[in-house]
Amino acid sequence: MCGIVGYLGKNEKKEILLDGLQELEYRGYDSAGIAVIENKQLKNFKAVGRLKNLRDKTKEYESKGFGVSIGHTRWATHGKPTELNAHPHMGAYSFVVHNGIIENYQELKKELQADGVKFLSQTDTETIVHLFEKNHNLNNNPWESFKKTISKLEGAYATLLITEADEETIYFAKNGSPMLIGFNDSDVYFASSDTPIIGKATEVYYLEDGEYGYAQNGKIHLFDKNGEKTFSKQALATDKAMAQKDGYRFFMEKEIYEQSTVMNDTMMGRLLDDRIEFEELDKDLFDNIVNIKICACGTSYHSALAASYLFERIAKTPCQVEIASEFRYKEPLLRDDTLFVTISQSGETADTLEALKMAKKAGLKSLSICNVDNSSIVRESDAAVLTRAGIEKGVASTKAFATQTMVLWMLAIYVAQAKETIDNELLSQELDAMRHTPKALLVADELHPKMTRLSKRYLHGHGFFFIGRDLFFPLALEGALKLKEISYLHAEGYPSGEMKHGPIALADAELFTVALMPKSLHYEKIKSNVEELCARDATVLAISPEPFDLADDFVKTTYDSHPMLEFFEMMVVTQLLALEISVRLGNDVDMPRNLAKSVTVE
């Protein structure tokens, strides 16, 4: 979720790059950098932290006259947010910026190191520039070298490369990560989304996967696997705010739709053919660990609850989950054979951070699952796994929850592998289901209009119950929290088997029940719980792959053979339901009243 900008032309390049990066900062901002070649001179600046730091560093620098330039704002995935890890990455005479993940970078890096290449950073990106220069030192042809480099890369990338060996050209390639080219007379712009070039370029071409080429003399030479190709430009949008939302009405909506893509980032390099791997974790992290305790708040707490089922079921490891604000004052008994796990989107939640400090003081090993590298919780933990969801702007968390849950699912398998509690057959079923997750997260064409239509029936009443069993109980809690946060309607998540122990007294036609009825987990049990509610005239919205005639409203899901795929598919349905109810009620979807994105107070 980093941002890229490039410019070829005669205008002041530093300002174009910095203004462009400013527009992309909302995607990630742990470090930034630029590289410029003009008058055969290469200049490069990098700074850790917000873009302002790079602005301060480049205050004295001006870049007038014709030249080529590239810039990048980073959201760390490989390696800490340091200047050395910030882009552009440098070879002996070339610079590269890159978004995405080069999956085979370790293999490429080993080959380059064997040839004597010294790496300065911990990133996958640096391999691109060294590979380019290795090829160039052999053939003295920059274009052929770039082509050869690209042909060796596996994974997702959008990349720009400039080199003193050909100082009037920008080389580019795209596969799996977004990149576009903007045009205005003989000026050429590159960016990872529209916003940096709105107001500068007038026309745009959105690169397709597998396309690459070079910009020279104000012209683009575009190629794909079939050779050089022609392309048509289109008019560029003029509304920046709209462009940041990629055409969606709200950031929350955009983030719901993004879940399928970011899930690929979350799994990349971790979900391998035959196992789960976390290269960021020491192999001995789980040695002598007999118990897992997870502490978190809000949505992160819900992902923790879901994980507790997976750790016990798959990894056969006892797992307790605690709300961080409760944990802090309960005088908990902590044992050093417990791994203390914190989950936080922001990494700054005060209650979670304080709980972590308590656990550390008691001598427990700690692991954080977080979306923001270098955040307080990540820095405080012994080990961290980043969720790679990209910056989440909507206060109501969506993609952070999805990616946290995926990391925890992968972690449960990882522990199961280490403790040998999973056989090969189950392992391959789980890995296979993970591979299908991005598909389960896609918003089907007919789903969103259906939720818009349904939402008008659920704007009144005396409250909502979201009900589910097992893994679907935490999902019910999360569905209710989403609705509460942005609709301001009362909603509760409940284990469906528990309704008869009290809450069923509330049942009447004005009680709305959202029933999560997966086919692959306790279907008959939950069905009979929902039937009990129907018999008492509650209004039921059932979500299930299995038709359920008693429901007042029914959303049919498609996955029916793996609980986690059902989980993710149903999660999207509940998110869209909350979104559309909030829209109908005229609320501020992205910034609901009384809430903040990051809760840094007790």
* The two structure tokens encoding residue 125: 């990106």
- Which is closer to ligand M6R, CB of 345 or CB of 366? 345
Q: How far apart are CA 531 and CA 533, in angstroms?
A: 5
CB of 285 to ligand M6R, least distance (A): 22
Do 29 and 76 form a contact (C-beta atoms < 8 A)?
A: no
Tell me how far, at minimum, the Cβ of 97 lies from ligand M6R, in Å: 29
Query: What are the CA-CA distances from residue 98 to residues 71, 128, 261, 344, 526 (Å)?
Result: 10, 9, 17, 27, 48
Nearest 5°: CA angle at 137, between 135 and 143? 55
Residues making contact with ligand M6R (CB under 6 A):
297-300, 344-346, 349, 352, 395-397, 485, 595, 598-599
Smallest separation (angstroms) from ligand M6R to the CB of 395: 5
Give the other-Cβ count within 10 Å of 232's Cβ: 6
- On the 0-12 / 13-18 / 19+ scale of CB atoms within 10 A, 583 is middle
Catalytic residue among 2, 297, 319, 370: 2
Cis peptide before 88 (omega within 30 of 0): yes
Q: Is 597 one of the annotated active-site residues of the chain?
A: yes
Residue ranges with strand state E in 164-290:
169-175, 180-184, 187-191, 203-206, 211-216, 219-224, 227-229, 234-235
CA–CA gap between residue 516 and residue 566 (Å, rounded): 9
Do residues 194 and 236 make contact, with C-beta atoms less than 8 angstroms apart?
A: yes
Residue with smaller CB distance to ligand M6R, 354 or 485: 485
The residue number whose beta carbon is nearest to ligand M6R equals 298
Pairing of strands 211-216, 219-224: antiparallel
528/600 with CB nearer ligand M6R: 600
Nearest distance from C-beta of residue 476 to ligand M6R, angstroms: 15
Tell me whether residue 300 or residue 403 sits nearer to ligand M6R (CB atom).
Answer: 300
Cβ proximity to ligand M6R: between 182 and 347 the closer is: 347
Rounded least distance, CB 407 to ligand M6R, Å: 13
Rg (Cα) of the chain, in Å, rounded? Answer: 25
Cβ contacts of 285 within 8 Å, gap of 6 or more:
339, 365, 367, 382, 383
Nearer to ligand M6R, 169 or 368 (CB): 368
Does the annotation mark 147 as catalytic?
Answer: no
CB 300 within 8 A of CB 416: no
Instruction: Please say which residue, 94 or 325, places its beta carbon nearer to ligand M6R.
Output: 325
Smallest separation, CB 299 to ligand M6R (Å): 3
Nearest distance from C-beta of residue 477 to ligand M6R, angstroms? 11
Cβ atoms of 306 and 410 closer than 8 Å: no
Q: Of 52, 233, 439, 597, which residue is the catalytic one? A: 597
As annotated, the active-site residues are 2, 597
